[in-house]
Structure 1
Amino acid sequence: MGRFCVTVLLLLVAGFATHAAKLPSTFKRCHKSDPKFDDCLVVNIEDAIHQLKNGAPELGLDSFEPLLISELVIGEGSGPVNVQQNFKNVKLHGLTGSKVLSQKASLDQNMLFAQSVTPMLRLEADYDMKGRVLLLPVFGNGPCNVTLVNTKINHTLIGEPFERKGRTFLKWVDYKVTLRPEIVKFHFANLFNGDDRLGNEINRVINENWDAVFTDVRDGYEKSFGLIFKDLANRVFTRVPLKDIFLETKLVWNPITNIKEKIRANLGLHIAMKSLHLAVLSFLCFANARKLPPTFKKCNVNANLNQCLAEAIPDAIRQLKTPMRKIGLPSLQPLVIPEMTIAPGDGLLGFYQNYTNLRVGGFDKISCHKVDMNLESKILTMSCASPQLRADFDYYFNGSISILPIYGDGNGSIVLDNVKCLHTFYMKQYQKKEKTHFRVTNSTLDVNPQHVTLQFNNLYNGDKFLESNLNVVMNENWREVYQELKPLLEEGFTRVFAALFDSVLRRVPVSDLFEGYQDAQL
């Protein structure tokens, strides 16, 4: 990858303001409580970008058409481009013509993810370079033009909030971009000290091999543009309080919403429980006591309780082909989860993962070889297995896996074969209407498959060659991929299963769960 440095002395503004500013009155804003918040941002961000063609005096920003950059240095690559490109007096045209394709805000994690396309991104500058391109010696200085056509750009922003004079602002500390142009056109004038014949030939060779040339120095361009965009974004976010960018809406307190937000806050990932078909939050219903369905096998506390539970639990799961709403259980064939989001990790999986419409199947094949229900300590431990668990979903990715960029949205699947699970529930007792109930206070889950198969369709916006190769790489390294996903997936599913079990416990008294149970035992 190309080494790089960039001096982003944007001539449009100098230094950060220490006083709060306001967004231009023509900038439209979105309410965080709007269920279509992300869609609103797509429209309003694009509109704001178009308006910046005329600048934003309220924020001290001059026109973005062109965007002026004092100096830009793209280091030599590790492949065909063994030359450092030094650009001065840079004029960047075309940014205000960008169209925002999609946007995902994770404000509780201070993160934004977006996809955009810029029809024509043209860099005009004075250049100076010396080295080799495609093994050909090249040197010169003078005016140049680098044009990226129909460039799809993935943006990943990570911020840190800070307080100033009692108001909360946000500083973007990391802004990563990936650039995927349809074609790149280069023209360097005055190569070889003005030898037109050699200069024209080098320009021709570079343009005929633009893909190899740009790919080799792409890293430098991406990091440079990331620094430029971060600087521009911070001109707004470090000046304008967050409450004036993302509007707050006062709502009547809703306990279900509050619980859902606590769940999200406690996870490196967050699980969107809204409209959750599996009624994960139904434990807030304090309805009359219920009984287990008559088809569920009941076990006696005085007669091989654990052996009986090892048979009864899988049998009950197999019966959940349809929901049993009276005891708060959804269908598990498949288990439906509307959304699951995983933030970028620090290791191999450095990309944002958003999964929607998850359908997890294979629970009907579960068997439990060991169950231990300790009524005294109120701890249930289950060692179970399934020949296969399969999740089908729609996904959105943006970031990198190892050193490879990854982005795209489409459908996919993750298949776990010969899965062994160890699930432990920790409970406490309480009384309700003169009946003893348990409630789940904590749980842990350990999931270990013998093999994992991953398939993601439409990666790289449908580029079949790149999609196929990345799927191959992930499956060849499935152990490393799964080890990074494992704690996040376990955390999410632990909470789902704990809420499901808790929903049953809060409805069904302990005496109706186990035959021969007496309150005096506890």
Structure 2
Amino acid sequence: MRLILLPFLLATVCQCAKLPSNFQKCNRKQADLKQCVIKAAQDAIYQLTHPYNEVNIPNLNPFELKGATVGGGGAVAVEQRFTDCKLQGFNKMKLDKFEFDFDKKVLDVVGTFPEIVKKCTYEVDGQVLLLPVTGKGPSEIILTKVDVTSKLYFEEIKKRNKTFIKIVRSDIDMNPGHVSYKFDNLFNGDKVLGDNINQVLNDNWKEVFEDVKSGYIEIIKTIVTSLLNNFFSKVSIEEAFD
């Protein structure tokens, strides 16, 4: 399994920025810090329906991804190449945990995406469940009730008497409750063959997704890491928490 992501986020710029006025601020000395941080993070996520250029955060509704390549090696013996992707649902994540451990330098994030919709132009040529598959055109993949758990390890960087965070490693797992697939124009538009393959994919969605799961985890990992690093390259710990 391999994944290739093309550049998709704003370049990080090491300049201090204020926390947007509509983002909640917490103090590391307050007794209910954990509750404050998860509420602040949840409120911020819901507001990411337009870009916040001053803190390097793009629009998450939809989130635009230039391209990704996901390869399978078992049931999905085909390289799936996606371009011009629009992903919807990242701003709807319901957090169960968003907790900083500043001593261990770890951020724990646990939550659920009710639905992630990925619309891309696809190109495939290979086999799925031993069936030959070829085609190029519009695609839509919908993941529902996606449970995500992650540990994000960071380092602190001092600049101009301020402390900034940089995520240096992440462990992420994701498990959807259901996945549906729709690939248009399979087999050069042969509707019968295309409908049959789409039916096979959807009838066997668990097996199909499990074989490409690591690729989707890499997509989530790269997006989450880049979002946080972009934000904390501009907003210091002192500005966000003190």
Cα separation, 2, equivalents of 1:503 and 1:366: 19
The correspondence of residues 78-227 of structure 1 with structure 2, limited to 5 A, is none
Report deviation, 1:350: 0.7
The correspondence of residues 503-518 of structure 1 with structure 2, limited to 5 A, is 503-515=230-242
Report deviation, 1:492: 2.5
Q: Residue in 1 aligned with 2:74?
A: 347
In the superposition, the TM-score normalised over structure 1's length comes to 0.45
Q: Is the partner of 2:78 in helix, strand or coil?
A: strand
Q: Is the partner of 1:300 in helix, strand or coil?
A: coil
Instruction: Report % sequence identity.
Output: 31
Q: Residue in 2 aligned with 1:296?
A: 23
Report deviation, 1:497: 1.6
Cα separation, 2, equivalents of 1:395 and 1:506: 33
What do residues 194-244 of structure 1 show as CA deviations (whole Å, max 9, x unaligned)? xxxxxxxxxxxxxxxxxxxxxxxxxxxxxxxxxxxxxxxxxxxxxxxxxxx
Q: Residue in 2 aligned with 1:390?
A: 117
Q: Determine if contact 1:342/1:488 at 8 Å carries over to the other structure.
A: yes
| Residue 269 (str. 1) matches residue 11 (str. 2) | no
Q: Is the partner of 2:61 in helix, strand or coil?
A: coil
Cα separation, 1, equivalents of 2:166 and 2:90: 23
What do residues 307-329 of structure 1 show as CA deviations (whole Å, max 9, x unaligned)? 22222212111211111111110
Cα separation, 1, equivalents of 2:209 and 2:37: 31
Cα separation, 1, equivalents of 2:202 and 2:124: 17
- Aligned pairs, number: 241
| Residue 453 (str. 1) matches residue 183 (str. 2) | no
| Residue 404 (str. 1) matches residue 138 (str. 2) | no
Report deviation, 1:388: 1.0
Q: Residue in 1 aligned with 2:143?
A: 416
In structure 2, which of residues 41, 44, 49 is the aligned counterpart of residue 321 of structure 1? 49
Q: Determine if contact 2:68/2:83 at 8 Å carries over to the other structure.
A: yes
The correspondence of residues 67-78 of structure 1 with structure 2, limited to 5 A, is none
Cα separation, 2, equivalents of 1:433 and 1:380: 24
Q: Is the partner of 1:293 in helix, strand or coil?
A: coil
Cα separation, 2, equivalents of 1:501 and 1:372: 14
In structure 1, which of residues 474, 482, 506 is the aligned counterpart of residue 201 of structure 2? 474
Cα separation, 2, equivalents of 1:373 and 1:297: 16
In structure 2, which of residues 6, 15, 34 is the aligned counterpart of residue 306 of structure 1? 34
Q: Is the partner of 2:233 in helix, strand or coil?
A: helix
Q: Determine if contact 1:314/1:364 at 8 Å carries over to the other structure.
A: no
Q: Residue in 1 aligned with 2:153?
A: 426
Regions of 4+ moved over 3 Å: none
In structure 2, which of residues 166, 176, 179 is the aligned counterpart of residue 439 of structure 1? 166
Kindly provide the amino acid, as one letter, of the partner of residue 87 in structure 2: V
Q: Residue in 1 aligned with 2:107?
A: 380
Kindly provide the amino acid, as one letter, of the partner of residue 69 in structure 2: T
Q: Determine if contact 2:4/2:68 at 8 Å carries over to the other structure.
A: yes
Q: Is the partner of 2:84 in helix, strand or coil?
A: strand
- What do you get for the CA RMSD once the two structures are aligned? 1.3
What do residues 399-428 of structure 1 show as CA deviations (whole Å, max 9, x unaligned)? 111211000001111111111111221101
Q: Which one has a bigger Cα radius of gyration?
A: 1
Report deviation, 1:268: 1.5
Report deviation, 1:334: 0.8
Q: Residue in 2 aligned with 1:486?
A: 213
Kindly provide the amino acid, as one letter, of the partner of residue 360 in structure 1: L
Report deviation, 1:467: 0.6
Cα separation, 1, equivalents of 2:205 and 2:199: 10
Cα separation, 2, equivalents of 1:366 and 1:497: 12
Report deviation, 1:356: 0.7
Higher relative contact order structure (alpha carbons within 8 Å, sequence separation ≥ 6)? 2
| Residue 333 (str. 1) matches residue 67 (str. 2) | no
Q: Determine if contact 2:73/2:211 at 8 Å carries over to the other structure.
A: no
In the superposition, the TM-score normalised over structure 2's length comes to 0.95
Cα separation, 1, equivalents of 2:212 and 2:239: 38
Report deviation, 1:365: 2.0
Cα separation, 2, equivalents of 1:300 and 1:436: 15
What do residues 42-81 of structure 1 show as CA deviations (whole Å, max 9, x unaligned)? xxxxxxxxxxxxxxxxxxxxxxxxxxxxxxxxxxxxxxxx
For structure 1, the residue ranges without an aligned partner over 5 or more in a row are: 1-266, 516-522
Q: Determine if contact 1:355/1:395 at 8 Å carries over to the other structure.
A: yes
Cα separation, 1, equivalents of 2:22 and 2:232: 18
Q: Determine if contact 1:452/1:482 at 8 Å carries over to the other structure.
A: yes
